Amino acid sequence: MGSIRTKAAIATSTLIKGTDDSRSKARVANMGPKQEWEQFFDGHAPIYMKNVWTKNTVKEIDFILKEFKLEPGSSILDIGCGTGRHSIELAKRGYKVTGVDISSGMLTEAERTAEEAKVRVEWIHANATQFKSKAKFDGAICLCEGAFSLLSSSDQPIKFELAILRNIYAALKPHGKLILNAINGYAKVRKVTQKDVEEGKFDPASNTEVITMDFDTPEGKRSVQVRERGYVPTELIMLFEKAGFRVNHVWGGTAGKWGHRTIDLDEIELMVIAERPERLLQ
């Protein structure tokens, strides 16, 4: 995902229809009251695909499939699937895909696009911290901060990430790989100031920023305060290992710049490539 501030600016500059009343055909699992990111993405959904970071989908799927080495027909779980751009591209290439997202607005867009593309994807409306899958998948993706890095006011850092990772781990078959993007903690720290700390806009203890997101709804302008957390690679490795994964790589992962390369300090995102081992690591 690009800078949140850019996204908020896009959201406010265009008239957005709210999607609260839309009837998503997605399966619903364990949804409580709407959390802040859910409110934002419900409002932002109709214009999400105008964001610049959504323009690399085909190349991103080429990259993912090279890493996964999975035959068509294999099953892939897309956590925080959004408008389904990766899920749908994978389905077009013959993979069985399940997309999970907290926003019914984003899932409504995903369903419409999949219908237009004449592909079948299973959509599930769920919070990734609570999502439990009965099915076991050959691979999983969590891209462009599909849940990971996006905390609600009630989420506790570390517990939040471990809940998501444990749910993905439990949904994977042994040797199943996970490709995940997370916000680059170095870049976040280099951007904020001591004044931000004093004003409560940045928590240095958890590398978490409080951001106000503005968006339009049929009832008028709305704004919601969200939290976005950055990570350093060693911390990600520890979180993944605690959830049971083996981490194969942590690379720079900013949209449009995916590759087998070291991290740029100022880039937006990191990429973790991890695997569910045959047995639990010691």
Query: Which residue's Cβ lies closest to ligand SAM?
Result: 82
Maximum separation of any 2 CA atoms in the chain, in Å: 54
For position 230 contacting ligand SAM by CB under 6 A, the verdict is no
Query: Are 140 and 178 contacting, i.e. CB atoms less than 8 angstroms apart?
Result: yes
Is residue 145 part of the contact set for ligand SAM (CB under 6 A)? Answer: yes
For the bound state, the minimum distance from the C-beta of residue 277 to ligand SAM, rounded and expressed in Å, comes to: 25
Examine residue 161 and tell whether it contacts ligand SAM (CB under 6 A): no
Q: Rounded CA gap, 31 and 147, in Å?
A: 14
Mark 94-133 with x for binding to ligand SAM (rule: CB under 6 A) and - for no binding: -------xxx--x--------------------xxx----
Helix (H, G, I), strand (E, B) or coil at 62: helix
Question: How many C-alpha atoms does 166 have within 13 Å on its Cβ side?
Answer: 10
Nearer to ligand SAM, 123 or 202 (CB): 123
| Cα separation, 271 vs 178, whole angstroms | 10
CA–CA separation, 161 vs 150, rounded Å? 10
**CB nearer ligand SAM, residue 154 or residue 193:** 154
Q: Are 151 and 157 contacting, i.e. CB atoms less than 8 angstroms apart? A: yes
Q: Which of residues 33-62 bind ligand SAM (CB under 6 A)?
A: 37, 41, 54
Q: Within a 13 Å sphere around the CA of 181, how many CA atoms are in the beta-carbon half?
A: 28
CA 23 to chain centre: 23
Residue number with CB closer to ligand SAM (193 or 212): 212
Residue 198 C-beta: closest distance to ligand SAM, Å: 28
Least Cβ distance, residue 43 to ligand SAM (angstroms): 11
Q: Which is nearer to ligand SAM, 37 or 240 (CB)?
A: 37
d(CA 78, CA 73): 15
> Are 183 and 149 a contacting pair, CB within 8 Å?
yes
Region binding ligand SAM by CB under 6 A among candidate stretches 144-152, 217-225, 245-253, 263-271: 144-152
- By CB under 6 A, name the binding residues for ligand SAM: 1, 37, 41, 54, 80-82, 85-86, 101-103, 106, 127-129, 143-147, 150
